[in-house]
Amino acid sequence: MNVDVTTDRFGAPGATRQAVEHVAPGTCKPATCNLPHVAASLLVVVTAVLLAFGALVTTYEAAMAVPDWPGTFGHNMLLFPLAEWLHGPWDLFLEHGHRLLGALVGLLTLMVAGLVWWRGGPPAVGALAIAAVLLVIMQGALGGARVLLDDKTVAKVHACTGPLFFAVAVSLAVLTRAGGRSSASTPRAGWTAAALVVAIYMQLVAGAQLRHVDPSMPPDSFRGLVALHVGGAVVVLVLAFASAAHATTWRSWPVAILVAACMQWLLGLGTWIVSWGLPTGLIPEAWQPDVALRARGGWTAAIVTGHVLLGMLMLGLSVAAAIRAGALDHVASLGHRGDVRRWRRFA
Ligand code: HEM
Ligand code: HEM
């Protein structure tokens, strides 16, 4: 069948939509595929795997398994022998794997940005694509600096910007999808969903300070940090509950976040116990200024890493839910209204 693909570079005219309806189910002509959405969705999936490797690197304290950067033991990172990577020590597998995945994510980000530029769309989506490129470059440089300087403060920043990049990737995947935004919900539902995104992100930031804690930190500051993270967990739970209660459309998303928040409490408690012993007081009994806090492997590593990853998943879900609830409407319609309508027709 001949498909009329006589569109401008934004793919806007109605002729294309009509042509799409005549394409046989299961087939996808290049000009009618929503390539930016496909690429952005792939970026989300690969970034999730990258975050998992990153979290494992921290859990196993494998950050310095490869002491040089951008190379790996003097090799060009991409040419490091496969057998040595796959059959070498676990720490090397994690750290080098994290770097390879970082390179892949960088490449995919450039591809998404290129496709968004090529296919057009509202300026807000273009701005998000540019933000993704800048963030991925910054994240790679921070990762390199963490190793070269062997610096925990850089590790904390790297741990906070990683989820930020993930949130941008999720936004891109949602906004490039047909009907990705919904304005049918109430302002209250939108604001609650937006507040939940902020609360979860703050929780990730506080968690990262706990995870990369400096053993020389005074006990009082450490106690404050613990209180902040546990207090933040209460706020997240309350907002997740309110978000599920106020949602008028796409209710399954906030409900999924509420379930995840309950599981996160259990994992958080588990993380506390395997890291610091039973929580008999606000300050963990195991806390001594110059004593190593944790020794992990097997189940304990799974609990701690699971807690980190579920936190990132909650952030991704909350970003998607907030956009669905119309909370970020002002971001997506920063540009001319016509641009937004054109993107909707195209996507
Ligand atoms: C888009 C790219 C990247 C993302 C999204 C990312 C994300 C992350 C995340 C989420 C963690 C775990 C932090 C935690 O559990 O607290 C991590 C750890 C780490 N990443 Fe990356 N990363 C990226 C690229 C890189 C690159 C290119 C390097 C190069 C060396 C690198 C080096 C590290 C190191 C050494 C750690 C362990 C830090 C520590 O435990 O002290 N990362 N990364
Ligand atoms: C429900 C909301 C919660 C979220 C979203 C959350 C998220 C996180 C994240 C993402 C990290 C690691 C951050 C990073 O390094 O990148 C973390 C660390 C941590 N969280 Fe939570 N958390 C929550 C609740 C809790 C609760 C209720 C507890 C304890 C009762 C807890 C205990 C911990 C501990 C002990 C760490 C440090 C882990 C380590 O030392 O490796 N969390 N949290």
DSSP notation for 41-66: HHHHHHHHHHHHHHHHHHHTT-GGGS
The DSSP letter of residue 228 is H
For residue 313, the ligand closest to its alpha carbon is 2
Q: Which two structure tokens, joined as six digits, stand for 300?
A: 């304990």
Q: In percent, how much of the chain has pLDDT > 70?
A: 78
pLDDT of residue 215: 79
Average pLDDT across the chain, whole number: 83
Confidence check: pLDDT of 30 > 70: no
pLDDT of residue 195: 95
pLDDT of residue 335: 44
Dump pLDDT digits (tens) for 260-283. 999 999 999 999 888 887 766 655
For residue 55, the ligand closest to its alpha carbon is 1
Q: Sketch the domain layout of the chain as residue ranges.
A: 9-180+331-347, 182-327
Confidence check: pLDDT of 180 > 70: no
Confidence check: pLDDT of 193 > 80: yes
pLDDT of residue 280: 66
pLDDT of residue 1: 33
Query: Does residue 63 have its Cβ closer than 6 Å to ligand 1?
Result: yes
Per DSSP, the three-state class of 139 is helix
Distance 139 CA to ligand 2 centre (A): 21
CA distances from 317 to 53, 148, 182 (A): 20, 34, 15
The residue ranking higher by pLDDT, 123 or 49, is 49
pLDDT of residue 214: 84
Supply angle C-alpha 192, 321, 56, rounded to 5: 110
Confidence check: pLDDT of 22 > 70: no
Q: For residues 255 and 103, what is the distance between their CA atoms, to the nearest angstrom?
A: 35
The one-letter amino acid code at 223 reads: R
Confidence check: pLDDT of 14 > 70: no
Confidence check: pLDDT of 179 > 70: no
Confidence check: pLDDT of 291 > 80: no
pLDDT of residue 283: 57
Ligand 1 pocket test: which of 50, 57, 66 has the largest number of ligand atoms within 8 Å of its C-beta? 57
Determine if residue 61 is left, alpha or beta; phi over 0 gives left, psi from -120 to 50 gives alpha, anything else beta: left
Q: For residues 58 and 77, what is the distance between their CA atoms, to the nearest angstrom?
A: 20
Q: Which two structure tokens, joined as six digits, stand for 117?
A: 């530029």
Q: Which two structure tokens, joined as six digits, stand for 128?
A: 């998000």
Q: For residues 123 and 337, what is the distance between their CA atoms, to the nearest angstrom?
A: 10
